[in-house]
C-alpha cells in the first residue's frame, strides 16, 4: 500500500513503469483498427462490484469519462470476488488491451496476475483501492487516502460528541468494510490512531465486525451488536450504506439513530445526506467516487509514456449534520 514513507521508493518505480508504457505503445499494444491515424486507447477496467451507492457513482463516472475521452472500454464487474477480477485481468491481457485499470477488492493476492500484465507489457493503473504487491507492478493509484479518512472520522466524532453534550466514557461500535479491502483496513487504522493518541481513557471500541460495505450487511451486524451491547453510544460505519442498514436495525430496536446512538459514516452519497438531513446521521466524512476524469487523464499519460504521480488524490470535505440540508441539492452522487 502507498503511504508517505514509501513515496520516494515509489517514485523510482515510475521511471521503470513509464518505460514499460512506452514499450506497450511502440508495440502497437492496441487491438484497434489499422487506419493509421491515432488509434482509440482500449482500456480494460475490472470493477469491484455494485455493493454500494458509492460504487454505482464510481462506475457511472468511469464509464462516462471513458466515453468522453474516446476510449474503448472493456468493463467487467467482479461481484466483490477477487477471483473474478483475476480472470477479468487475464482476459484483458489475452485481448491485448492498451492499459488495464482496476479497483482491487482486497489488498492481497495480485502478484502473479500483475506479473503477467508486466510480462505482456501492459501497464496497470490502480484506482480507488490499493494492493500489497511490489510497487513496480503498477504505475499509479488514483484514489483517496483512506487512513486519513479514518483520522477525519475520529476528529469529527469529537465535534459530534461535544454538540450532543456527551460526557464521560464513549462506547463505540464499528462496522468495518469488506475484510482485507484497503478502505476497511486503513479507515480502521486511521480512526484507532487518533483514538489511541487522544482518547485512550474515554473512548472504547466495544464491537467491531464487517458488514461488507452493504446495507444488508450493516443491518444484520448492527442487530447483533445491539443485542450483545445494548449501551452503545456511537456507531462508526466505514460507509454510508452500512450506516443506513444499521439505522433500520436501531429503529427496529426502539432507539433513535442520531440521538440515542450518534452515527458517523464515510462516503457522502445522496442517501447518506438525506439521512443526515433527517437527523439520523450526525456527520459524514466524504470519499469522492467521481474518479473517472482523473483516471482517464492518467491512462492517457501512461499510454503515451509520460510520467505520472505515484498517487493521484482527490479533494474531499467533512460534513456535520447542520450542513446537510444546504449541501443536499448540490450533491453530485
Ligand atoms: O467507501 C464503499 C465502497 O473502495 C472507497 O467501497 C471504496 C469503498 C466505499 O463499497 O462504499
Closest CA to 24 of 302, 298, 311: 302
Beta bridge partner(s), residue 141: 126, 311
**276 alpha carbon to ligand 1 midpoint, in Å?**
19
Supply the mean pLDDT for the chain.
91
- Compute, in degrees rounded to 10, the torsion defined by CA atoms 70, 72, 77, 81: -110
Q: Is the CB of 25 under 6 A from ligand 1?
A: no
pLDDT band at 34 (very low <50, low <70, confident <90, very high): very low
* Mean pLDDT value across residues 219-240: 98
* Mean pLDDT value across residues 111-140: 98
Burial of 5 (0-12, 13-18, 19+ CB in 10 A): exposed
Report the pLDDT value the prediction gives residue 327, as an integer from 0 to 100.
94
Q: Does pLDDT of 243 surpass 70?
A: yes
Instruction: Spell out the domains of the chain, with CATH numbers in brackets.
Output: 5-143+289-315 (3.40.50.2300), 146-287 (3.40.50.2300)
pLDDT band at 37 (very low <50, low <70, confident <90, very high): low
Q: Which of 128, 177, 290, when mutated, tests ligand 1's pocket best, judged by the most ligand atoms within 8 Å of its CB?
A: 177
Residue showing cell 508486466: 118
Q: Does pLDDT of 238 surpass 50?
A: yes
pLDDT digits (tens, 9 = 90+) for 278-306: 999 999 999 999 999 999 999 999 999 99
Closest ligand 1 atom number to CA of residue 51: 10
Question: Do residues 184 and 177 touch, judged by C-beta distance below 8 A?
Answer: yes
pLDDT band at 28 (very low <50, low <70, confident <90, very high): very low
**51 alpha carbon to ligand 1 midpoint, in Å?**
8
* Mean pLDDT value across residues 222-228: 98
pLDDT digits (tens, 9 = 90+) for 65-99: 999 999 999 999 999 999 999 999 999 999 999 99
C-alpha pair distances (Å), 126 with each of 53, 102, 129, 143, 199? 20, 5, 7, 8, 35
* Mean pLDDT value across residues 310-319: 94
pLDDT digits (tens, 9 = 90+) for 109-118: 999 999 999 9
Q: Is the CB of 174 under 6 A from ligand 1?
A: no
Report the pLDDT value the prediction gives residue 18, as an integer from 0 to 100.
40
> Residue 290: which residues within 8 A CB-CB, separation 6 or more?
57, 58, 61, 314, 332, 333
Report the pLDDT value the prediction gives residue 26, as an integer from 0 to 100.
36
Report the pLDDT value the prediction gives residue 12, as an integer from 0 to 100.
35
Report the pLDDT value the prediction gives residue 120, as an integer from 0 to 100.
98
pLDDT digits (tens, 9 = 90+) for 194-208: 999 999 999 999 999
Amino acid at each position: 500500500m502507498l503511504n508517505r514513507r514509501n513515496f520516494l521508493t515509489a517514485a523510482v518505480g515510475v521511471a521503470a513503469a513509464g518505460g514499460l508504457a512506452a514499450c506497450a505503445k511502440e508495440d502497437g499494444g492496441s487491438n484497434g483498427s489499422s487506419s493509421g491515424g491515432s488509434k482509440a486507447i482500449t482500456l480494460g477496467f475490472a470493477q469491484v462490484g455494485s455493493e454500494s451507492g458509492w460504487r454505482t457513482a464510481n462506475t457511472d463516472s468511469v464509464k462516462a469519462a471513458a466515453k468522453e475521452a474516446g476510449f474503448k472500454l472493456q468493463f467487467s464487474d467482479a461481484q466483490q470476488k477477487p477471483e473474478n477480477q483475476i480472470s477479468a485481468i487475464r482476459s484483458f491481457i489475452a485481448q491485448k488491451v492498451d492499459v488495464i485499470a482496476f479497483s482491487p477488492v482486497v489488498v492481497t493476492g495480485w502478484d502473479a496476475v500483475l506479473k503477467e500484465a508486466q510480462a505482456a507489457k501492459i501497464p496497470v493503473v490502480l484506482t480507488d483501492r490499493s494492493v500489497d504487491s511490489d510497487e513496480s507492478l503498477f504505475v499509479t493509484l488514483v484514489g483517496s487516502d483512506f487512513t486519513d479518512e479514518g483520522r477525519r472520522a475520529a476528529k469529527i466524532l469529537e465535534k459530534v460528541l461535544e454538540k450532543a453534550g456527551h460526557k464521560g466514557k464513549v462506547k463505540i461500535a464499528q462496522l468495518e468494510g469488506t475484510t482485507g479491502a484497503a478502505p476497511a483496513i486503513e479507515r480502521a487504522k486511521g480512526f484507532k490512531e487518533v483514538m489511541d493518541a487522544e482518547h485512550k481513557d474515554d473512548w472504547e471500541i466495544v464491537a467491531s465486525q464487517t458488514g461488507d460495505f452493504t446495507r444488508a450487511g450493516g443491518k444484520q451486524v448492527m442487530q447483533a451488536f445491539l443485542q450483545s451491547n445494548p449501551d452503545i453510544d456511537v456507531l462508526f460505519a466505514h460507509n454510508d450504506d452500512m450506516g443506513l442498514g444499521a439505522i433500520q436495525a436501531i429503529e427496529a430496536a426502539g432507539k433513535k439513530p442520531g440521538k440515542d446512538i450518534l452515527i458517523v459514516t464515510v462516503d457522502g452519497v445522496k442517501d447518506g445526506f438525506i439521512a443526515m438531513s433527517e437527523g439520523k446521521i450526525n456527520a459524514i466524512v466524504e470519499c469522492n467516487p467521481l474518479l473517472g476524469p482523473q483516471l482517464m487523464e492518467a491512462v492517457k499519460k501512461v499510454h503515451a509514456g509520460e510520467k505520472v504521480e505515484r498517487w493521484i488524490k482527490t479533494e474531499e470535505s467533512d460534513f456535520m449534520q447542520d450542513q446537510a440540508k444546504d449541501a443536499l441539492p448540490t450533491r453530485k452522487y
